[in-house]
């Protein structure tokens, strides 16, 4: 009997030892997520997903490891494309990889007597291209702007220094000067008079840029089902949709008539090869195909498409970023960045500027994500923090940011640029953004960046940028008390 009892005790001890060696493991994995806790974990667990060549793979994980070791690996087929060995520690990482080929991919966790927990989110996103397009409506509207400034250009004959070059305003605005000389007889036509009437009623150029991106093209420009209702309502002045539609249609009819009166089709045909050259100059300087997915992943928001619109007839160095809420399309229309040359042997349309194209893409597209978050802040919060504008007022006004809300747009856009630059692996550029902008008066930028780093680390797939901006504003108010 005693021998049987001893044998039974030995069996219990062996069973307990094997159970301890196998460890405990709890998993509630779902597509796109691994959620596991483990004790004395000594095996490999994995999830498999498909990715196409060029897809961006985002992996965001948080590990709490109290004992043992854990290895994380990402595999493309049988090849390991990333791995990390963890000892007892807490670790949170946002990882961005590019699939080299279309193949099943997997994420593996391998334990060595590991105690702890893992929460990991993963997704694949197709690389997203920025479209570079031409727009006849904007070229014709640019001509209106050129005719409006033409008389001033005619008077401004003194030499000035622009971009470290001694020049004249006519040379700086070479296309405007060429067009004014060609079309000056139309300076007082019905369309120009109508434009100036709207100017007097404080309809600014960015309003018309937005309208003309949302309608059919000249000579048949008309409202369509992608034209924002708010844009149409603005024409009425009193919220009358029917009246707004009539007035907007009348404006577009005049715009079409102007196209025909000056035979603008000839100008478009003459510059057909220039449009192609401008498009080529912009396309070769675009950010990498990772840029848009990285931006969308950070803000946890996306738009349907992103468009850069180089416009030869806009006033040199001007630009307008607009969004069509119906199509969820973003448009950044911009003029030549600097001097132009139309000499066939030395053709330079003013668009071949890598740094400015990159900056335009990052900064202006960023406004589409940020501005709505600032606009949705409680009015009381915006008003109660206006005192923060006073110390930076002079620096902001020098850059045309004449109120607190405008400076908030710029602070948060620039803070987003810092985070995105880091995620794309350009840490030196990220630090330069902070350094140069603080020097330029963006005093609150480091504070906002630090807070956005917390948003970046938040592993919740449903995190809300707009809500987090409000949290930052409350903390900013507390940190810089009046």
Please indicate, yes or no, whether residues 116 and 135 belong to a single structural domain of this protein. Answer: no
Domain boundary residue, one of 329, 363, 397: 363
Q: By the 8 A CB rule, do 88 and 67 touch?
A: yes
Query: Quick one: CA dihedral 284, 285, 286, 291, positive or negative?
Result: positive
In a domain, 368, yes or no: no
Residue 377 CB: number of other CB atoms within 10 A? Answer: 18
pLDDT tens profile 173-210? 999 999 999 999 999 999 999 999 999 999 999 999 99
Please indicate, yes or no, whether residues 253 and 267 belong to a single structural domain of this protein. Answer: yes
Q: What is the largest CA-CA distance in the chain?
A: 120
Find the CATH number of the domain harbouring 110. Answer: 2.60.120.260
The rounded Cα 77 to chain-centroid distance in angstroms is 33
Please indicate, yes or no, whether residues 116 and 164 belong to a single structural domain of this protein. Answer: no
Residue showing tokens 């500027």: 353
Strands 89-98 and 56-76: antiparallel
In a domain, 298, yes or no: yes
Please indicate, yes or no, whether residues 117 and 168 belong to a single structural domain of this protein. Answer: no
Please indicate, yes or no, whether residues 277 and 418 belong to a single structural domain of this protein. Answer: no
Please indicate, yes or no, whether residues 283 and 305 belong to a single structural domain of this protein. Answer: yes
Supply the range of the domain harboring residue 53: 25-125
Q: By the 8 A CB rule, do 85 and 28 touch?
A: no
Residue showing tokens 């060609």: 182
In a domain, 239, yes or no: yes
Tokens standing for residue 94: 């946002």
Please indicate, yes or no, whether residues 186 and 253 belong to a single structural domain of this protein. Answer: yes
Please indicate, yes or no, whether residues 392 and 428 belong to a single structural domain of this protein. Answer: yes
- How many C-alpha atoms does 18 have within 13 Å on its Cβ side? 6
In a domain, 121, yes or no: yes
Residue showing tokens 């399309």: 329
Q: How far apart are CA 267 and CA 143, in angstroms?
A: 11
> How confident is the model at residue 390, as a pLDDT?
97
Which residue numbers in the chain have pLDDT < 70? Answer: 1-23
In a domain, 369, yes or no: no
> How confident is the model at residue 437, as a pLDDT?
97
Please indicate, yes or no, whether residues 349 and 383 belong to a single structural domain of this protein. Answer: no
Tokens standing for residue 460: 């919740």
Please indicate, yes or no, whether residues 416 and 339 belong to a single structural domain of this protein. Answer: no
What are residue 33's DSSP bridge partners? 30, 121
Residue spans of beta strands (DSSP E) within 209-294:
none
> How confident is the model at residue 28, as a pLDDT?
84
In a domain, 32, yes or no: yes
Number of folded domains that form the chain: 3
Domain boundary residue, one of 125, 145, 178: 125
> How confident is the model at residue 482, as a pLDDT?
82
pTM: 0.85
pLDDT, averaged across the chain? 92
Please indicate, yes or no, whether residues 311 and 297 belong to a single structural domain of this protein. Answer: yes
Please indicate, yes or no, whether residues 106 and 70 belong to a single structural domain of this protein. Answer: yes
> How confident is the model at residue 216, as a pLDDT?
98
In a domain, 17, yes or no: no
- DSSP sequence for 144-160: HHHHHHHHHHHH--S-E
Residue spans of beta strands (DSSP E) within 21-99:
24-27, 33-41, 44-51, 56-76, 79-86, 89-98
Domain boundary residue, one of 339, 363, 387: 363
Residue showing tokens 């904007």: 138
> How confident is the model at residue 298, as a pLDDT?
96
In a domain, 71, yes or no: yes
> How confident is the model at residue 24, as a pLDDT?
80
Backbone φ, ψ for residue 25 (5° rounding): -155, 125
pLDDT tens profile 117-126? 999 999 999 9
End-to-end CA distance of the chain: 85
Q: How far apart are CA 28 and CA 383, in angstroms?
A: 46
> How confident is the model at residue 471, as a pLDDT?
98
> How confident is the model at residue 17, as a pLDDT?
35
Residue 361 neighbours by CB under 8 Å, 6+ apart:
130, 286, 287, 291, 306, 308, 332
């Amino acid at each position: 009997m005693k021998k049987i009892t001893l044998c039974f005790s030995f069996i219990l001890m062996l069973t307990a030892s094997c159970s301890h060696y196998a460890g405990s493991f709890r998993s509630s994995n779902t597509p796109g997520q691994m959620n596991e806790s483990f004790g004395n974990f000594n095996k490999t667990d994995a999830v498999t997903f498909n990715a196409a060549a060029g897809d961006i793979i985002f992996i965001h994980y948080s590990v709490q490891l109290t004992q043992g070791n854990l290895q994380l690996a990402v595999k493309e087929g049988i090849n390991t494309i990333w791995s990390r060995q963890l000892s007892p520690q807490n670790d949170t990482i946002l990882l961005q990889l590019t699939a080299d080929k279309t193949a099943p991919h997997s994420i593996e966790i391998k334990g060595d007597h590991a105690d702890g927990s893992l929460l990991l989110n993963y997704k694949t996103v197709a690389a997203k291209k920025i479209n570079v397009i031409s727009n006849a409506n904007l070229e014709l509207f640019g001509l209106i702007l050129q005719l409006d400034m033409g008389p001033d250009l005619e008077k401004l004959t003194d030499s000035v220094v622009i971009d470290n070059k001694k020049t004249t305003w006519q040379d700086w605005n070479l296309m405007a000067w060429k067009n004014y000389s060609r079309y000056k007889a139309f300076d007082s036509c019905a369309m120009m008079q109508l434009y100036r009437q709207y100017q007097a009623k404080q309809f600014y150029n960015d309003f018309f840029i937005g309208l003309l991106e949302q309608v059919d093209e000249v000579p048949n420009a008309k409202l369509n089902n992608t034209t924002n209702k708010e844009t149409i309502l603005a024409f009425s002045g009193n919220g009358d949709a029917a009246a707004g539609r009539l007035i907007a249609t009348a404006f577009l009819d005049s715009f079409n008539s102007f196209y025909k009166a000056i035979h603008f089709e000839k100008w478009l045909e003459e510059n057909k090869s220039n449009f192609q050259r401008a498009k080529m100059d912009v396309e070769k300087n675009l950010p990498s195909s990772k840029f848009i997915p990285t931006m969308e992943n950070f803000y946890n928001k996306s738009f349907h498409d992103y468009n850069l619109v180089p416009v030869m007839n806009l006033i040199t160095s001007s630009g307008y970023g607009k969004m069509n809420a119906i199509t969820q399309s973003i448009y950044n229309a911009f003029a030549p960045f600097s001097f132009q040359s139309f000499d066939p042997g030395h053709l330079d349309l003013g668009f071949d500027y890598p740094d400015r194209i990159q900056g335009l893409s990052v900064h202006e597209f960023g406004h589409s994500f940020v501005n709505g978050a600032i606009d949705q802040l409680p009015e009381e919060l915006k008003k109660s923090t206006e005192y923060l504008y006073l110390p930076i007022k002079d620096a902001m006004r020098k850059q045309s940011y004449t109120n607190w809300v405008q400076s908030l747009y710029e602070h948060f856009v620039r803070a987003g640029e810092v985070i995105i630059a880091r995620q794309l692996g350009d840490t030196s550029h990220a630090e330069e953004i902070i350094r140069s902008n603080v020097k330029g008066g963006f005093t609150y930028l480091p504070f906002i960046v630090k807070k956005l780093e917390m948003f970046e680390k938040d592993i919740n797939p449903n995190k809300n940028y707009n809500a987090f901006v409000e949290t930052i504003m409350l903390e900013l108010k507390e940190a810089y008390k009046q």
